[in-house]
Amino acid sequence: MNGFPSIRIGHGYDSHRFDPSRPLKLGGVAIPGEQGLAGHSDADVLLHAIIDAMLGALALGDIGGHFPDTDPRWKGADSSELLRLAVRDVWAAGYVLGNLDATVICERPRLKPHVAAIRTRLSSLLEVPLERISVKGKTNEGMDAVGEGKGIAVHCVALLTVRGPA
């Protein structure tokens, strides 16, 4: 591609505060019995960070620019649908997702019991093999607002590679 390397890296970050009146969704998976997150859409903080990582790799702006929270179309939106639209942008630009690595930071829920289901769901939504999807859970050791249990934060990096011939 114009002599530039055919790989691009992007970083995504998102955080949402807890809202106990809402259900929790992480990576497109419903996590029962836990506080949900406040937000205009379904507030799936993991999917939002993944979308920002992919858009960032292509220098296409961010999730807020693509799906503004002032637009009633995205009120209560299923973030899986937003992710699908972002994947379409990646393909339209001639790239595919090579791999991604996400770190979910929260005191609750404990992520480990849900990691397998979340990776499987992401693999399906992103149409990328499971072994290319990494999701890791950490606590913030009681530090800062996330450590005080006020919400969930996610960091994600995504590598995109030029799509080969079909």
* Nearest distance, CB of residue 128 and Mg ion, angstroms: 21
The token pair that represents 134 in the structure block:
């990494």
Instruction: Give 36's strand partners.
Output: 19
Taking the complex as a whole, the smallest distance from the CB of residue 113 to Mg ion amounts, in Å, to 23
- Of 25, 48, 114, 155, the residue at the interface with Mg ion (CB under 5 A) is 48
Between residues 25 and 119, which has the closer beta carbon with respect to Mg ion? 25
Q: What's the helix, strand, coil split of the chain in %, to 5? A: 35, 30, 35
Edge-to-edge order in the sheet of strand 95-105:
36-37, 7-19, 151-162, 95-105, 133-138
Toward Mg ion, which CB reaches closer, 11 or 163? 11
Is 50 or 57 the residue whose CB approaches Mg ion more closely?
50
Tell me the closest approach of the beta carbon of residue 67 to Mg ion, in angstroms: 10
Among residues 8, 10, 12, 14, which is the contact residue for Mg ion, using CB under 5 A?
14
Cα–Cα distance between 30 and 24 in angstroms, integer? 6
Give the whole-angstrom CA distance, residue 6 versus residue 8: 7
Q: Which span sits near Mg ion by CB under 5 A: 9-17, 28-36, 89-97, 125-133?
A: 9-17
Q: How far is the CB of 77 from Mg ion (least distance, A)?
A: 11
Give the nearest distance from C-beta 162 to Mg ion in angstroms. Answer: 29
Judged by CB under 5 A, the number of residues near Mg ion is: 2
Which is closer to Mg ion, CB of 85 or CB of 116?
85
Nearer to Mg ion, 48 or 155 (CB): 48
End-to-end CA distance of the chain: give it in Å, rounded.
17
Strand ranges (E), the chain = 7-19, 24-26, 29-31, 36-37, 95-105, 133-138, 151-162
Query: Which residues of this chain interact with Mg ion, rule CB under 5 A?
Result: 14, 48
